[in-house]
Amino acid sequence: MTAELAERQIGPGAGRERLRATALDLFTERGVSATSLQMIADAMGVTKAAVYHHYKSKDEIVLAVVRPALEQLMGLVRLAESRRSRAAQVETMIVGLADLIIANRRLYALLQGDPTCTAILQRYPEFPTLGERLVALLAGPDPDPGSVVAAGMLLAGLRGAGSDPRVMVLDDEEFRRYVVGCAHRLMRPRRPASATG
């Protein structure tokens, strides 16, 4: 019995964890707004009331699903901001973002792309202006527009990096190398305004 508790995570808190996993599946597949608590309950094989026993509103479910990745992202931002050189800041961000997307391949799309998720995060502002700090770390202070475009493309693009079946099959190490390689090429400094053809 105790072995089963440890092995299969049955016990106090296990229901919440299974709920978060189920909700994440549906949120990433259909979007937060298009996912009802009834769907979550059905996917778990319980009733809506059982879902409400764990979290007292849909917003709280979204927050609980998103929070771990969000805190990892905040930690990365703080780490990168502590680097002294610009090059080290960018490098820290690139490898940190790659690690984050590997650890939460599907969740990142929610944070980056789901408007309902973003709206909820703004309504519970435990996590302040994160997007601006991300761009600032990648593009630098008072950046030229080209760097801002590149940073925006990187942050949005990570969402699509692992979506192809040919990529999902890769192991983490290999996937990570490709993502970091793409990010390096994208963020590589260019000459501000000269003839390049």
Cα separations in angstroms, 78 against 19, 81, 166, 191: 30, 5, 34, 29
- From a second copy, DNA, none, which one binds at residue 48 (CB under 5 to 8 Å depending on kind)? DNA
Region of 36-44, 148-156, 163-171, 184-192 interacting with DNA (CB under 7 A): 36-44
- From DNA, a second copy, none, which one binds at residue 182 (CB under 5 to 8 Å depending on kind)? a second copy
Nearer to DNA, 12 or 165 (CB): 12
Query: Which tokens belong to 122?
Result: 């703004």
**CA distance linking residue 139 with residue 166, whole number of Å:** 31
Say whether residue 106 binds DNA (CB under 7 A).
no
Say whether residue 16 binds DNA (CB under 7 A).
yes
Say whether residue 145 binds a second copy (CB under 8 A).
yes
Find the shortest distance in angstroms from Cβ 114 to a second copy: 7
Cα separations in angstroms, 150 against 84, 187, 188: 22, 6, 9
Say whether residue 82 binds a second copy (CB under 8 A).
no
Nearer to DNA, 53 or 184 (CB): 53
Say whether residue 37 binds DNA (CB under 7 A).
yes
Site string for a second copy, 154-173 (x = CB under 8 A): xxxxxxxxxxx-xx--x---
Say whether residue 53 binds DNA (CB under 7 A).
yes
Query: Which tokens belong to 142?
Result: 């008072």
Instruction: Please state the separation of Cα 35 from the chain's center in Å.
Output: 19
Binding test (CB under 7 A) with DNA, winner from 24, 27, 58, 92: 58
Say whether residue 133 binds a second copy (CB under 8 A).
no
DSSP 196: -
Say whether residue 53 binds a second copy (CB under 8 A).
no
Between helix 58-82 and helix 86-103 the angle, nearest 10°, is 150
The three state secondary structure string of 51-118 is HHHHCCCHHHHHHHHHHHHHHHHHHHHHHHHHCCCHHHHHHHHHHHHHHHHHHCCCHHHHHHHCHHHH
Binding test (CB under 8 A) with a second copy, winner from 116, 127, 130, 133: 116
